[in-house]
Structure 1
């Protein structure tokens, strides 16, 4: 009888222990679930990405090419919304004013984005954004017409010094005006500028002999040289790998530098943990090299940077722009 009672007590004790263990396990699972929802679960829904420029433009084309690898890493879709207007101000302002919840991002083109607040009163400023990552570097080049006789930058500058205002140069956008302004200041020359709405028109102008030279995106170099045009200089600080036959302005003794970049941004006040997660995931994409070939196919140079590095990159560009533009604001299109 005593053995039977002892056996029953043991069974009851073991049942109570199992019940306690079950409760602990259940609580742990709930805590783990809550932790995932507040941390590792982001992002849980599609992300809206605003492009401050028209569909089919350089930044839009890049964003759509980059979307695939980024979506794969994020586990969510990027919903691209084009909001052009006022040289990018409309879309940039929309990004700055969007809900800073980690689900509203954008891509900006550095030169236009950084120039605008220096040449007009804008509805956004640099400190309205967190700069997450950049995958590209795109320089501009100076082309000379086939029949101009300008075979080098030195030759063109020498002629321009002797004939102020006679050398005509096509541009398509304020970024190109900014580069030409640097050359005028550095070389002590004066050019006559003709503006066109796009790079294709600007190229046609110099190829057709309507202007003597052009400041144009590096993506047009192959097309230009196929038409007999001469590429005199590139605005990068160092020669570009896929255009290593083109000298820099700096090599010729002129501190003319300007590198455009497509930068992913978030509105300021986006929670730090979400910004950190975004940068980590973008780093994974950047380090994978998945975008190298698509970016080369677009005529850009692949160069990934993120976090503090991209913030310093923007600050350096803004500082140089402020130095060059001061006192010359009326040169630019501000409508």
Structure 2
């Protein structure tokens, strides 16, 4: 018997902790954004080894809208019978409920596993006359600095707002409807700084000044961390697997075992290498603690930015 089928058998045994008669062969995985987007792309690669480890059919349902909160609400409202999970990123779980009225909160989910954590970089135009992060601090403490984002409350906004506050910058926030428009604005000199992942760094004529991570990124060894510049700031775009509140411990453990197998699969590693996505697995307890602390930190930044009271 192969290790894969041994794991599959262990997962199925764990899932028998559910009310067996209600468990379907097909598991629905809700993705809260449209097909072809960043979250959907990763979810579809994750789904295949995850389904193989579970020995169940997994069907992805794209339930987009309202910055991901419609899909997240569908996961929170689902029956806790082990037939519905959600592949959700940071936004609809740990940011948007603080910005808008939602039908769910942190207590309405079961936390299964974290799958990715991709650090973000502080970017400037490659044509800018500045060389280091310190150059922008010197300007921003005496004159204004304009930074863009892909929308209020997004990670690019929160990370830059936290940096501006820590550095005492006279910063002006200029939000855009997506990263593409912000990159056009940077190319035209409308904004000075932007924060985003390595995917944006590679696809545009920009230079990275620092990374919001505890350590330098292996693929970019010459880019210093924010801490090296004197700012203890870490931000990443993360994703994970959630269920509705009330899943049994046996069900969560079964899903978590399958999640770990998927995260460690060759297919997931290949995707990570091609898209500069950071792989990070955390099981149920560690993931829940991480999400709750991340949410708390985001609320404080949103308050400092004047977006919430």
TM-score, scaled to structure 2: 0.86
In the alignment, structure 1 segments of 5+ residues that lack a partner are 1-34
Q: After the TM superposition, which residues 202-217 of structure 1 pair with which residues of structure 2 at under 5 Å, given as runs? A: 202-217=182-197
Partner of 2:209: 232
1:203·1:216 contact (CA, 8 Å) conserved in 2?
Answer: no
Matched residue, 2:260: 283
The one-character-per-residue Cα deviations of 1:155-188 (angstroms, maximum 9, x if unpaired) are 1111111103xx2222113221111110121011
CA contact (8 A) 1:118 1:329 kept: no
Residue 157 of structure 1 corresponds to which residue in structure 2?
137
* Alpha-carbon distance in structure 2 between the residues aligned to 1:314 and 1:135: 13
Q: Does 2:149 correspond to 1:171?
A: yes
- Confirm or deny: 8 A CA contact 1:100 1:266 kept in the other structure: yes
Contact 2:67–2:91 (CA under 8 A) maintained in structure 1 = no
RMSD value, Cα: 2.4
Alpha-carbon contact 2:78-2:84 (below 8 Å) kept: yes
Distance 1:153 1:112, change over 3 A: farther
Corresponding residue number in structure 2 for 1:78: 58
**Structure 2 residue 266 is matched with structure 1 residue 266:** no
Aligned match of 1:13: none
Deviations 1:285-323 (A, max 9, x none): 334454112122122112222222212221221221122
Which shows bigger deviation, 189-198 or 174-183?
189-198
Higher deviation after alignment, 191-200 or 52-61: 191-200
Return the alpha-carbon distance in structure 1 between the equivalents of residues 165 and 14 of structure 2. 56
Q: Which residue is equivalent to 2:283?
A: 306
Bigger mean CA deviation after superposition, 188-197 or 102-111: 188-197
Q: Supply the distance in 1 between the matched residues of 2:286 and 2:42 (Cα, whole angstroms).
A: 21
- Residue 297 (structure 2) aligns with: 320
Where structure 2 has 5 or more consecutive residues not aligned to the other structure, the ranges are: 1-12
Which structure would you say has the larger Rg? 1
Q: After the TM superposition, which residues 180-259 of structure 1 pair with which residues of structure 2 at under 5 Å, given as runs? A: 180-224=160-204, 227=205, 229-259=206-236
Q: Distance in 1 between matches of 2:73 and 2:95?
A: 14
Distance 1:206 1:37, change over 3 A: closer
Moved more, 318-327 or 300-309: 318-327
Name the structure where helix makes up a greater proportion of residues: 1
Question: What's 1:29 paired with?
Answer: none
TM-score, structure 1 as length reference: 0.80
For 1:142 and 1:37, the matched residues in 2 are separated by 43
Pick closer, same or farther for the CA change 1:179–1:39 going to 2, 3 Å: closer
- Of 63, 85, 94, the residue aligned with 1:114 is 94
Q: Following the alignment from structure 1 to structure 2, what is the Cα–Cα distance between the partners of residues 240 and 89?
A: 31
Pairs aligned (count): 293
Assess if the C-alpha contact under 8 Å between 2:113 and 2:284 holds in 1.
yes
**Alpha-carbon contact 1:182-1:255 (below 8 Å) kept:** no
Higher RCO (C-alpha 8 Å, min separation 6) = 2
User: Greater shift after overlay, 215-224 or 178-187?
Assistant: 215-224
Say whether 1:295 aligns with 2:275: no
Counterpart contact for 1:129–1:265, Cα < 8 Å: yes
